[in-house]
Structure 1
Amino acid sequence: MNKSQIRKKILKIRKKKFDKKFEINSGKLISYLETNISNLKNIGGYYPSNYEIDDLEILDLLEKKDFNASLPRITKNNQMNFYKWSNNDLLKINKFGIPEPLSSRVFYPDVLLIPLVAYDSNLNRLGYGGGFYDRYIEKIEKIKKIIKIGLAFSFQKTSSIPINQHDKRLDFIITEKEILR
C-alpha cells in the first residue's frame, strides 16, 4: 500500500476504535523520562485532535515534576515552531482547527512527543502528509539533538511504512501495549 492508502485505512480504524479511556501508560513514559533522560527538561507535546493519543495529561504531570512544556504552532510558509505552554494558558485555534499557544517565546524541546497516523517496527512514522514534523525535526536537529517519541494505539501498527529521503525515523514509539526502540 502507498502512504495515502495506509493513511486512509488507519484513520478510519482509529475513528472507529477510539476510546478516551484507551490510553498509553503515562506513568511508564514519565518514569522512563525521569530515569533515562532526567537532564532533559524541555518537552514538546501536541494538542490532540482527530482521535489522537491525548498527551495533555502527560504534559501536565511532567510540568508538576519541573519539566517545561511546549506545544507547536504553525508559522508562515507552513513551518512549525514550539512555544512555551502550561495547562492554564489560553490557546487560539489555527487554520486546521487545532489549538495553539499564544506565547511568543520560541521554545526548543529536548524531547518531542509526536502524534502519528501509522507506524512500523522500524520506528517509521506516517503523519497526515503535510510534512510539518519532518521539516521541524530537520530544522531543530541542526540546533540540538532531540529525542523523538511517537505516541500511538497498537492497532495503528502496519507491516511497513513507505519512506522517502525527507521522512524522519523516531527514537521510540509508545503504545498502550509496548515501547518500541
Structure 2
Amino acid sequence: MPAARHEDSLAAAKAEARKSAAKVRAAAHKELGGLAGEALAQTGLEFLAHTGPAVVSGFYPYKSEIDLLGLLRRLSGEGRTTCLPIVLKAGQPLLFKAWAPGEATEPGAWDIPIPVASAQTVEPDIMLVPLLSFDRAGYRLGYGGGFYDRTIEMFRGNKQLTAVGVAYAAQEVEEVVRGKHDQPLDWVLTETGPIKMTKA
C-alpha cells in the first residue's frame, strides 16, 4: 500500500477508535467519577512511593479524563515537585512548569488551566499521561495532536523518563491502533492499581 494511502487509512482507523473510546471513558467517568479519583490518589501514592525526589508531571483533568488532582495534591504535600504541561504550538513538544493544586493558573490551549507564566520551568522524570484507550503492550490512543508522543520521544533521547498512562480500568483494549511515531508507555495507572506494560 502506498505510504500516503496507508497514512490516510491509519488516520481514519484512529478517528473511529477515538469515537468509541471516548464513549467508554465517558461511561466510566459517569459511573465512578470522584470515587475513581480518590482511589487513584491512593494507588498512585503507593506506586510512586519509592521514586525519591523525581519530578512528576500530571495534567489538569479535561472532559471525562480521570481526576488525578488528588494524587498531585498528596505528592505535593509530601514535598514532591509536581508540574503541568503547556502546549506551545502545533508540532512542538510540551513545556512543563511547576504547579501544585491550590496554586494560581491561567487558561491554556482549549481553556485547560495551566501554571502562570512566572512559574518555574522544570523537566519531569515521571510523566503522567492522559489517554482515550490503552493496551498491555504500552500503546495509548491519544487525541491526535501528537504532543505527548513528541515529548516522550524527546525526553527519552536525553534522559531517563518513566511514562505512565493514567486512565479508568475500563479504558483498556486488546490492541490500540498505532502508527510508527507512537511512543509506548512504561506503566498505566488506574483506579484499581498500576499495570506494567509488556512492550511488544
TM-score with structure 1 setting the length: 0.91
1:74 aligns with 2:107: no
Q: Is the 8 A contact 1:91 1:100 kept in 2?
A: yes
Cα-to-partner distance string for 1:13-58 (whole Å, 9 max, x where unaligned): 22233132341432222122112x22x4211000001110111111
TM-superposed deviation, 1:4: 1.4
Name the structure 2 match of 1:46.
59
Cα-to-partner distance string for 1:109-166 (whole Å, 9 max, x where unaligned): 1101111100011111111111010011112222211111111111111110122221
2:176 to 161, 165, 173: 161
The residue matched to 1:28 in structure 2 has which SS?
helix
Q: Is the 8 A contact 2:56 2:127 kept in 1?
A: yes
The residue matched to 1:150 in structure 2 has which SS?
strand
1:59 aligns with 2:59: no
Count of matched residue pairs: 179
> Over aligned residue pairs, what C-alpha RMSD do you find?
1.7
Q: Which has the higher helix share?
A: 2
Q: Is the 8 A contact 1:71 1:84 kept in 2?
A: yes
Structure 2 Cα separation of the partners of residues 174 and 76 of structure 1? 28
Structure 1 Cα separation of the partners of residues 129 and 147 of structure 2? 11
Name the structure 2 match of 1:98.
112
Structure 2 Cα separation of the partners of residues 175 and 77 of structure 1? 29
Percent identity, please: 30
Structure 1 Cα separation of the partners of residues 90 and 62 of structure 2? 22
Structure 2 Cα separation of the partners of residues 5 and 22 of structure 1? 29
Structure 1 Cα separation of the partners of residues 106 and 116 of structure 2? 7
Structure (1 or 2) with the larger CA radius of gyration: 2
The equivalences for 1:131-150 within 5 A come to 131-150=146-165
Q: Is the 8 A contact 1:41 1:66 kept in 2?
A: no
Point out the more displaced range, 80-89 or 42-51: 80-89
**What are the ranges of 5 or more consecutive residues in structure 1 without an aligned counterpart?**
none
Q: Is the 8 A contact 1:118 1:126 kept in 2?
A: yes
The residue matched to 2:174 in structure 1 has which SS?
coil
Structure 1 Cα separation of the partners of residues 76 and 45 of structure 2? 11
Structure 2 Cα separation of the partners of residues 76 and 25 of structure 1? 31
The residue matched to 1:17 in structure 2 has which SS?
helix
Q: Which has the higher strand share?
A: 1
**What are the ranges of 5 or more consecutive residues in structure 2 without an aligned counterpart?**
1-11
Point out the more displaced range, 154-163 or 21-30: 21-30
Name the structure 2 match of 1:15.
26
Structure 2 Cα separation of the partners of residues 3 and 139 of structure 1? 23
Structure 2 Cα separation of the partners of residues 33 and 106 of structure 1? 22
Query: After the TM superposition, which segments of 4 or more aligned residues of structure 1 sit over 3 Å from their partners?
Result: none
TM-superposed deviation, 1:78: 4.5
TM-score with structure 2 setting the length: 0.83
